[in-house]
Amino acid sequence: MLRAGRGERVPRPPMWAMRQAGRYLPEFLALRNYGFLERVHTPELAAEITLQPLRRYADRLDAVVIFSDILIVPPAMGLPVYFRPGPQFGRLLESPADLDSLNWKPDVHKEFRFLLDSISLTRRLAAAPTGTPIPPAAEDVGTVAGAGSPEGTPGRDQYWLPRSALPPTLLADMASGAASVGKAVPVIGFCGAAWTLMSYMIDGDLAPAPEAASAAEAAAAAPAAGTAGAAGAPATIAGSKAGERGLVGHKTYERSKRWLYHHPEASHRLLSGIADILVDLLVAQWEAGADILQVFETNGEALPPARFREFALPYLLRVAAGVRARTAPVSEGGPVLSVFAKGAHACLAELADPATSAYDVISLDWSVEPAQAVRVVREAAAKAAASGSAAASAAARPKALQGNLDPCELFGSGDSIASAARTMLAGFGDHPLIANLGHGMLPGHKPEALRAYFDAIHAHAY
């Protein structure tokens, strides 16, 4: 996985699937008595869910993606988010004046402690041979501190659930070593890109009146309030009525695009503030043990090329450059940086340009023709090499590609899936590829369908 990500030759394409831990897995649904944010904010649960696909597809899967969400960032900036199960905001940005109320400098080690601890626990559980006991997270702080705990105290007071609320079998399996997997695959950390987060913060679904949120939910959705962890028993967040439907769901992005075109300065201020937080967040994930960092510009599809170039691309590039500047080059063991910019066909060449883009892997959505992407990425590398800049000669190698089977292909028969996989592989030819889907797994998928895809990739030797 890491060698393919660096653009090196490997015997077969390595593989993982976006949203590989999720509702299509019965073992994931078995943990749904815990709310989504409870699972995300409790390292033992997040690590276990992250590892579920690795246990199931142990002979196939080459990486795990940490169980979390791109929408953990707005709460750290002061906009609470609930999941029911789709994201709903406690408050949206309405006008540029609202920017002054945001927290532009969250302490990522404090606000995202749960994520960083989930990453390091996942890494230890994945790599340790079966039978090796692994202690639970933050063992030294065994209790949940309620409101008023000293600022910055590390440990379980930063998590949503006390250890006593965890499934006893999970703790027993960690203690006995039964939970250790013995397959040291890379851990993928991630974040949402600036434009995608901005569009959610303006056009997201608005939660019903705040009193509809349970106390535990409200406390944890806004961790800065300091009451997180006050609840002892798992509170579930299922089944509330949807509030006002936001426009991300409508796919018009009318309010957030109005900001771009009517308030360009305020938009750039917001985007650049988010981008700075993302750099801190990704560097922290790398330091916690994530080997690959993927940036999701899922709502890139909302913007026409010229506007994507103006409002999305600069921040995508800035995040990668910022992370690279604070870590190491990929050739010296630094993080593999990956970008998934959905619908950003027109900017593929810019993302692939070694002179300006620090990404190593360009992740393609399912609407991109593989052979066309290979051409664009190779041309971008050749052009940069010909220009003779220092950056270009350092990275004359074309960037790796990732993708891009239409997730809905997994609704086909086993034969149909294998044939679609072969068509895709033929399109990528011998270009360095990380096999993936062109968007995430869907709740209606059968686990056997993903196995059929993985089998077809596994059978493919260069």
| 22 makes contact with ligand CP3 (CB under 6 A) | yes
CB of residue 146 to ligand CP3, shortest distance in Å? 26
Can you name the residues that pair with 405 across neighbouring β-strands? Answer: 437
Among 12, 27, 31, 69, binds ligand CP3 (CB under 6 A): 69
> DSSP letters along 359-378, please?
-SEEEPPTTS-HHHHHHHHH
Among 114, 160, 296, 454, binds ligand CP3 (CB under 6 A): 296
| 16 makes contact with ligand CP3 (CB under 6 A) | no
| 282 makes contact with ligand CP3 (CB under 6 A) | no
Residues 348 and 376 sit within 8 Å (Cβ to Cβ): yes
Can you name the residues that pair with 339 across neighbouring β-strands? Answer: 295, 362
| 23 makes contact with ligand CP3 (CB under 6 A) | yes
Q: Which residues contact 133 (CB under 8 A, 6 or more apart)?
A: 174, 175, 176, 177, 180
CB of residue 298 to ligand CP3, shortest distance in Å? 3
Q: Which stretch binds ligand CP3 (CB under 6 A): 80-88, 315-323, 420-428, 444-452?
A: 80-88
Instruction: Give CA–CA dist 413/200, Å, rounded.
Output: 36
How many residues at the interface with ligand CP3, by CB under 6 A? 21
Of the pair 327, 338, the CB lying nearest ligand CP3 is at 338
| 85 makes contact with ligand CP3 (CB under 6 A) | yes
Q: Which residue is nearest to ligand CP3 (CB)?
A: 298
Q: Among all chains, which residue has been given the structure tokens 């196939």?
A: 60
CB of residue 390 to ligand CP3, shortest distance in Å? 34
Of the pair 200, 259, the CB lying nearest ligand CP3 is at 200
Dihedral sign, CA of 305, 201, 97, 243? Answer: positive
Among 2, 47, 70, 450, binds ligand CP3 (CB under 6 A): 70
Of the pair 15, 384, the CB lying nearest ligand CP3 is at 15
Q: Which stretch binds ligand CP3 (CB under 6 A): 84-92, 113-121, 220-228, 376-384?
A: 84-92
Altogether, the residues listed in the chain come to a count of 462
Instruction: Give CA–CA dist 326/344, Å, rounded.
Output: 27
| 56 makes contact with ligand CP3 (CB under 6 A) | no
Among 36, 114, 195, 286, binds ligand CP3 (CB under 6 A): 36
Of the pair 69, 173, the CB lying nearest ligand CP3 is at 69
Among 89, 159, 190, 253, binds ligand CP3 (CB under 6 A): 190
Q: Report, as residue numbers or ranges, the catalytic residues.
A: 19, 23, 32, 69, 200
| 116 makes contact with ligand CP3 (CB under 6 A) | no
Residue of 71, 155, 74 lying closest to 110 (CA atoms): 155
Instruction: Give CA–CA dist 299/316, Å, rounded.
Output: 13
At 354, list the tokens. 């070694």
For helices 370-387 and 414-428, the axis angle rounded to 10 degrees is: 20
Of the pair 115, 174, the CB lying nearest ligand CP3 is at 115
Of the pair 7, 298, the CB lying nearest ligand CP3 is at 298
| 83 makes contact with ligand CP3 (CB under 6 A) | yes
CB of residue 303 to ligand CP3, shortest distance in Å? 15
At 357, list the tokens. 């883009």
Of the pair 33, 101, the CB lying nearest ligand CP3 is at 33
Residues 378 and 348 sit within 8 Å (Cβ to Cβ): no
Q: Which stretch binds ligand CP3 (CB under 6 A): 82-90, 284-292, 318-326, 409-417?
A: 82-90
- Of residues 381 through 440, those in contact with ligand CP3 by CB under 6 A are 440
Residues 195 and 259 sit within 8 Å (Cβ to Cβ): no
| 102 makes contact with ligand CP3 (CB under 6 A) | no
Q: How far apart are the first and last CA of the chain?
A: 15
Of the pair 282, 395, the CB lying nearest ligand CP3 is at 282
Residues 254 and 203 sit within 8 Å (Cβ to Cβ): yes
| 65 makes contact with ligand CP3 (CB under 6 A) | yes
Among 267, 298, 338, 402, binds ligand CP3 (CB under 6 A): 298
Instruction: Give CA–CA dist 365/342, Å, rounded.
Output: 6
Q: Tell me the CA distances in angstroms from 13 to 52, 54, 341, 347, one per residue in order.
A: 22, 17, 21, 25
Q: Tell me the CA distances in angstroms from 188 to 76, 148, 339, 345, one per residue in order.
A: 21, 34, 12, 24
Helix, strand, or coil here: 331? helix
Instruction: Give CA–CA dist 198/142, Å, rounded.
Output: 37
* Residues 155-184, mask of contacts with ligand CP3 (x by CB under 6 A): ------------------------------
Residue of 16, 217, 264, 229 lying closest to 143 (CA atoms): 229
Site residues, ligand CP3 (CB under 6 A): 18-23, 36, 65, 67-71, 83, 85-87, 190, 296, 298, 440
